[in-house]
């Protein structure tokens, strides 16, 4: 709880402490596991993290699909379908201003992470790979160019 009060990531601030601990533990376990792996395994994991779908993206895809279906049905069948669009857009608005809306706890429980959480793991792996060391700067650049 304490660490959540001044948490700059709004989604993390509103995540249930138990779920948050589980997410953080998983990040730590991943980092500890990959710290002992060969550089190419680290590279593969970094690529995987770069392509991981973050919470905002999952939420946007869900909201867009639901609201879009509502609007199309509203146009071709009953006007009442626009109520669905309105409801979903209301939740999205709530999420934008507060960082919380009903689907977020569900998605968090499913393990979806925010981009800053993913980036945290990714940068930790980059440090462990030695991307910050003088000699490896060139090899780091090669990795990034892949």
Binding residues for another protein (CB under 8 A):
8-9, 47, 50-51, 54, 56-57, 60-61, 63-65, 67-68, 70-72, 74-75, 79-80, 82-83, 85-86, 88-90, 92-93, 95-97, 114-116, 119, 123, 126-128, 130-134, 137, 140-141, 144-145
Q: What is the Cα Rg of the chain in Å?
A: 20
Residues 6+ apart with CB under 8 A from 144: none
Residue closer to another protein, measured from CB, 83 or 106: 83
Residues 6+ apart with CB under 8 A from 13: 4, 5, 7, 99
Cα 139 from Cα 76, distance rounded (Å)? 57
Residue closer to another protein, measured from CB, 18 or 28: 28
Largest CA distance in the chain: 66
Residue closer to another protein, measured from CB, 15 or 85: 85
Residue closer to another protein, measured from CB, 38 or 145: 145
Cα 72 from Cα 100, distance rounded (Å)? 27
């Amino acid at each position: 709880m304490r660490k959540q009060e001044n948490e700059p990531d709004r989604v993390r601030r509103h995540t249930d402490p138990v779920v948050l601990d589980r997410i953080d533990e998983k990040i730590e376990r991943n980092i500890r596991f990959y710290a002992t792996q060969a550089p190419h395994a680290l590279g593969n994991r970094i690529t995987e993290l770069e392509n991981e779908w973050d919470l905002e993206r999952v939420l946007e895809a869900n909201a867009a699909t639901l609201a879009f279906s509502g609007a199309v049905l509203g146009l071709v069948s009953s006007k009442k379908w626009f109520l669905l669009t309105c409801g979903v857009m209301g939740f999205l608005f709530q999420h934008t201003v507060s960082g919380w809306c009903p689907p977020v706890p569900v998605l968090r429980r499913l393990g979806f992470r925010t981009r800053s959480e993913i980036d945290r793991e990714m940068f930790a792996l980059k440090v462990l790979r030695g991307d910050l060391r003088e000699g490896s700067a060139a090899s780091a650049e090669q990795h990034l160019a892949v």
